[in-house]
Amino acid sequence: MSELRITIYTPDSLLANPVSMGREMLRDLAASMQLAWRLTVRDLSAQYRQTFLGFFWAIILPLANTLVWIFLSRSGVVNLSDTALPYPVYVFTGTMLWAILMDALNAPLKIVTASKNMLAKINFPRESLVVAGICQTIVNALIKVALLLVALLAMGIYPDWSVLLFPIGLISLILVGTVIGLALTPVGLLYTDVGKAIPLLMQFLMYLTPVVFAMPKSGISATLFQLNPMTPLILTARDWLTGYTPEFLGYFVLVNVVAIILLFLFWIVFRLAMPILIERMGS
């Protein structure tokens, strides 16, 4: 008879024994993969089976946003400084990339909240939910990018070899979005204020990022745009996609390195917090 696995639960903080915690984290992550993929397939097929327009929903919001901004600039309601790219291309790529970031950011809290009932009753690796959220974001992002490429070609923008680097830009957007989303999840599970505040704050942050506006040349807004960690993500991804040379490559690398470190930290926080939060969520 094979050796039985021993499970021990005590009130001690899991941090008290970092080695076994690390081992369990890796084991659970490995065990999460198959479940995460199942959950992804489940959510995506359910999501698209219930709609008439199907995959078009992945681009309808950014498309509408683009049209609004093109209208605003053409009609002179807002005065926008010139962009190197034609403005419609600039806005469309910007809003698409921003939508991908927002998808990634919203995913962890959304999927964990939707699974409350399961979390309260079944013991399964909690990481799988976060991984499933990332998988869904990636699938939705690929749909967006495919349509974006078609639109670029239609508008007469022909990407050069640097488009091969674009996946790095895409991964960075999803990485940073996931890190922020994961950081907000523990608090957001208890206090719904977080879920309500995210769209508000992110809308504000969008206007401080070169999504619909060009980079300001001077003044306080120029400083804010340059400090904003989202700026290098959007600009670099857009530049690689449209064949321009990225200006903020150094900051781009720095943001990614910090994001990777934070991803590990927030993963630990998430893991430690879940049993305590599940107790407070009720069943």
Partner 1 sequence: MGETLIKVEGLSKKYCRSLKKSMWYGMRDVGSELLGRRHGADGSLRPDEFWAVKDVNFELKRGECLGLIGQNGAGKTTLLRMLNGLIKPDQGRIEMRGKVGALIALGAGFNPILTGRENIYVNAAVLGMSKQLVDRKIDEIIDFAEIRDFINSPVQTYSSGMSVRLGFAIAAILIEPDILFLDEVLAVGDIGFAIKCLNTVRGMTNKSAVIFVSHNMQQISGFCSRVIMMAHGMVSIDSSNTSEGIDRYYDLVKHAEQISGTGEAEVLSLTLTSHGKIIETEDSAIDTSAELTVLLGLRIHDSITGANLVIVIRNDAEMPIRTFPVCNSEGEDIVYSAGEYLVEIPLGPIELNSGRYAFVVAISDVSSGVILTRVQGLHQFRVVSEYNYWSPGVSPRVSRLISINDNT
Structure tokens at 186: 């523990």
Structure tokens at 5: 């696995």
Site for partner 1 in 191-230 (CB under 8 A): 191
Report phi then psi at 81, rounded to 5: -70, 160
Q: Cβ 181 to partner 1, closest distance in Å?
A: 17
By the rule CB under 8 A, 15 interacts with partner 1: yes
Site for partner 1 in 101-160 (CB under 8 A): 115, 117-124
| Nearest residue to 66 via CA among 30, 113, 107, 99 | 99
192 in helix, strand or coil? coil
What stretch of H or E contains 22?
A: helix 18-49
By the rule CB under 8 A, 51 interacts with partner 1: no
By the rule CB under 8 A, 84 interacts with partner 1: no
Using the minimum distance from each CB to partner 1, give the nearer residue, 57 or 124: 124
Region binding partner 1 by CB under 8 A among candidate stretches 32-40, 56-64, 209-217, 243-251: 32-40
Task: Write b or e for each residue in 176-199: b if 16 or more Cβ atoms lie within 10 A of its Cβ, otherwise e.
Answer: bbbbbbbbbbbebbeeeeebeebe
DSSP string, 92-147: HHHHHHHHHHHHHHHHHHHHHHHTHHHHHH----THHHHHHHHHHHHHHHHHHHHH
Region binding partner 1 by CB under 8 A among candidate stretches 53-61, 138-146, 233-241, 267-275: 267-275
Q: Which position among 29, 31, 80, 224 is part of the footprint of partner 1 (CB under 8 A)?
A: 31
By the rule CB under 8 A, 261 interacts with partner 1: no
User: Which spans of this chain sit near partner 1 (rule: CB under 8 A)?
Assistant: 4-16, 31, 34-35, 38-39, 42-43, 45-46, 49-50, 115, 117-124, 186-187, 190-191, 269, 272-273, 275-280, 283
